[in-house]
Structure 1
Amino acid sequence: MEELMDNELINTSAIETIDSREVAEMVGIQHKDLLKKVRNYEGILAGAKLRPLDFFIPSEYQDAQGKPRDCYLLTKKGCEMVANKLTGEKGVIFTAKYVNRFAEMEQKIKLPKTDREILFLSVKVQEETAQRVDVLEEKVSDLEKSTTIDSSQQHTLEKVAKTTAIRTLGGIDSRAYQLMSRKIFSNIWRDYKNYFKLGSYRDTLKTDYENAKNYLESWSPEVNTSLKIKEYNSQLAMNLDYNN
């Protein structure tokens, strides 16, 4: 968690602190009363040219209704200051509680000291980083698998399909093209959608784009349609020979 105060960015996740609500409970006073005390300490510290953030870090929390409420994160110095203002048994008990609390936190984030501990921590960090990278790559891969081709790629597939249709029909000036072009285009896209299991060629996945181009380039009509194309083009050739 990060707090922006006095033009300073405080990374509170890297600092051992105790929430003022917990401190108030330890001391046995209401939280609002502790906030008043802390704010008073802040003013005194600031007036003495000392850094209040070394003791008390402003923060907030959400109450039961989800509304933001003020609180403080007390560093060990801040707890010591609060403890010094307490007298008798109450001060002793609070001191014992916050000392134990900080000891627990220090134990949890105990830093490695020996070369063996440092090496072990380094390997652990590398493993955790590798796991995060694997998860990220998996998410990217899943995204690619669900992303469809863009308009430019759609246009390319349309051009490939048109080139295949013209070649199949014997050219754009052929009789077969004049009589069967609509049927051939329909057959191309029908077979394409069946092969890739799509409702529209626009739904083609980016991961299938290269396969899609290869499919359209290598597409050929069924036997009966091929024979009909040859028949129409043969008739045209015969008519041309007869006229000549």
Structure 2
Amino acid sequence: MEELMDNELINTSAIETIDSREVAEMVDMEHKNLLSKIRKYVEILDGSKLSSPQFFVPSTYVNNQNKEQPCYLLTKKGCEMVANKLTGEKGVIFTAKYVNRFAEMEQKIKLPKTDREILFLSVKVQEQTAQRVDVLEEKVSDLEKSTTIDSSQQYTLERIAKTTVISALGGIDSRAYQLMSRKIFSNIWRDYKKYFKLGSYRDTLKTDYENAKNYLESWSPEVNTSLKIKEYNSQLSMVLD
């Protein structure tokens, strides 16, 4: 007898069904033999222009060898048809089993009947949908908070930092730039990483990108370094004079 991977009743398009593998266990029959009988029933029903899916819904499952195999989902009508073909004790026992199983399903999935029940279910579905949307938005927000800037944004920060440093040194042709540019570039990125608590400016979060640009635009060397810059540039002025 084939082993069921899931013994629960399956709900397909709001119609309660039982997997043919479970039915085969109920009637103590090989699943392949039950499939053969069901296929004959389906052929007869379709040939008589009756809707076979109202009785037997084609489906598949994956066996222990990870291969897809055919099966059917039997509605209550389908179970009744199978039961009618059984005689004696076996038919009585199967009828009792499938009736109990469908009763269990009806308790688990009770379809609304009155307008009040339908309205209640609609409100409940809307609430569940809203909760799922909230969870999804929260996940998206968390993702944004953990996403770092892209290469284009990295380049923009580099360009802003370069402009700020050149300005602080008095221009690219200044004496201070010639003597101190390497140190000042090191200082601006040191202060930047310390302020944003990063190992590298490339690790800047997208959510901090605007703040990062403002920081680099407004950055200036510390007092002692600023005095040194003025000193070097004033020496150059004296030489030119």
| Shorter-chain TM-score range | 0.7 to 0.9
User: Which amino acid counterpart does residue 166 of structure 2 have in structure 1?
Assistant: I
**Where do 1:172-183 residues align within 5 Å?**
172-183=172-183
- Across the aligned residues of Structure 1 and Structure 2, the Cα RMSD in angstroms comes to 2.0
Aligned: 1:229 with 2:229: yes
Is there any run of 5+ residues in structure 2 with no aligned partner, and where? 1-10
Residue 238 of structure 1 corresponds to 238
Residue 36 of structure 1 corresponds to 36
Residue 67 of structure 1 corresponds to 67
**Where do 1:136-151 residues align within 5 Å?**
136-151=136-151
**Aligned equivalents of 1:112 and 1:80: distance in 2?**
24
Residue 200 of structure 2 corresponds to 200
Residue 4 of structure 2 corresponds to none
Identity between Structure 1 and Structure 2 (%): 85
**Aligned equivalents of 1:150 and 1:190: distance in 2?**
21
Residue 23 of structure 1, CA deviation = 1.0
**Aligned equivalents of 1:190 and 1:152: distance in 2?**
21
User: Which amino acid counterpart does residue 213 of structure 2 have in structure 1?
Assistant: K
Q: What secondary structure does 1:16 align onto?
A: strand
Distance 1:240 1:152, change over 3 A: same
Residue 20 of structure 1, CA deviation = 0.7
**Aligned equivalents of 2:212 and 2:146: distance in 1?**
16
Residue 122 of structure 1 corresponds to 122
**Where do 1:62-141 residues align within 5 Å?**
62-141=62-141
Q: Judge which range, 206-215 or 79-88, deviates more.
A: 79-88
Distance 1:128 1:58, change over 3 A: same
User: Which amino acid counterpart does residue 29 of structure 2 have in structure 1?
Assistant: I
Distance 1:125 1:56, change over 3 A: same
Is there any run of 5+ residues in structure 1 with no aligned partner, and where? 1-10
The normalised TM-score by structure 1 is 0.86
**Aligned equivalents of 2:113 and 2:56: distance in 1?**
30
The normalised TM-score by structure 2 is 0.87
**Where do 1:160-199 residues align within 5 Å?**
160-199=160-199
**Aligned equivalents of 1:188 and 1:13: distance in 2?**
63
Matched residues, number:
231
User: Which amino acid counterpart does residue 148 of structure 1 have in structure 2?
Assistant: T
The superposition leaves residues 28-74 of structure 1 with CA deviations (integer Å, 9 ceiling, x where unpaired) of: 22222211111222222233333332221222223334333322111
